[in-house]
Copies of this chain bind each other. A is one copy, B any other.
């Protein structure tokens, strides 16, 4: 394909060079798609509502949006966005480069996401979430924002760089997940957390240093900070920087 004849593309949309658009995909007026990007079938980009206020949806270069995904106007994504299928992203989502959003993820908008964030399948990112760089969020994690629902008080969560949130965890309103923290699967976590610590349980308790967790690959090396051993999909300059950090070697 290139632009599939069974797609519906507004003449007002700005489509870069070498962009592929699949069958039955709809691109509305206020959409900018940068070069070398793939938009698969059944996607709808640039949906408007009363909150998007006619602002543009910007998709960075070298992106790949898989089928059945819905993006509203008024959001922007740096280069290298990759999504699974059936992703929904509302207005006022501002994301850096190389964001990955898994199948069925649901980004409620009005949030900020850094660079190289990896959200796996079926992640729910509530409004007013602030996510740093190199964060990992695993399936069925919910980031909340209302401390006593329903109300008009909004306390988005803050997740710092390199944090990892394992599957089926609820992050409570206003929680601060510090750099390098690991939240175990099926946890309920709130309040403040300490850097490079493991928390687990419902409600989550501090278990100890993440560096105490050993890799089950036969080496017995620490599994965290994960960037010491896990480099798949990161660019060479990032990995070189990590290699210079001498993490946990002091």
Which residues of A line the B interface, CB within 8 A?
6, 8, 23-24, 26, 41-42, 44, 47, 67-68, 70, 84-86, 88, 103-104, 106, 108, 118, 121-122, 124, 136, 138-140, 142, 144, 147-153, 155, 164, 166-168, 170, 172, 185-186, 188, 201-202, 213, 215-217, 223-224, 226, 229-230, 232
Query: Which residue of B108, B186, B217, B224 contacts A170 across the interface (Cβ within 8 Å)?
Result: B186
Query: Which residue of B168, B202, B216 contacts A148 across the interface (Cβ within 8 Å)?
Result: B216
Residues of B within 8 A of A229 (CB): 151-152
Query: Which residue of B122, B147, B223 contacts A106 across the interface (Cβ within 8 Å)?
Result: B122
Residue of B nearest to A189 (CB): B186
Is B151 a contact of A226 with CB atoms below 8 Å? yes
Query: Which residue of B84, B168, B188, B215 contacts A142 across the interface (Cβ within 8 Å)?
Result: B168
Residues of B within 8 A of A155 (CB): 216
Is B223 a contact of A148 with CB atoms below 8 Å? yes
Is A149 a contact of B138 with CB atoms below 8 Å? yes
Question: Chain copies in the assembly?
Answer: 3
Is A140 a contact of B140 with CB atoms below 8 Å? yes
A41 to B226, CA, bound (A): 42
Residues of B within 8 A of A26 (CB): 23-24, 41
CB distance from A116 to the nearest CB of B (A): 12
CB distance from A3 to the nearest CB of B (A): 15
Residues of B within 8 A of A88 (CB): 84-86, 103-104
Is B164 a contact of A186 with CB atoms below 8 Å? no
A14 to B168, CA, bound (A): 40
A67 to B8, CA, bound (A): 15
CB distance from A193 to the nearest CB of B (A): 17
Also in contact, A186 and B202, with CB within 8 A (given A70-B85, A150-B226, A151-B230): yes
Query: Which residue of B68, B70, B104, B149 contacts A164 across the interface (Cβ within 8 Å)?
Result: B149
A118 to B216, CA, bound (A): 32
Residues of B within 8 A of A104 (CB): 88, 104, 106
A-B CB proximity, top 4 nearest: A148-B223, A186-B188, A170-B186, A168-B170
A127 to B67, CA, bound (A): 21
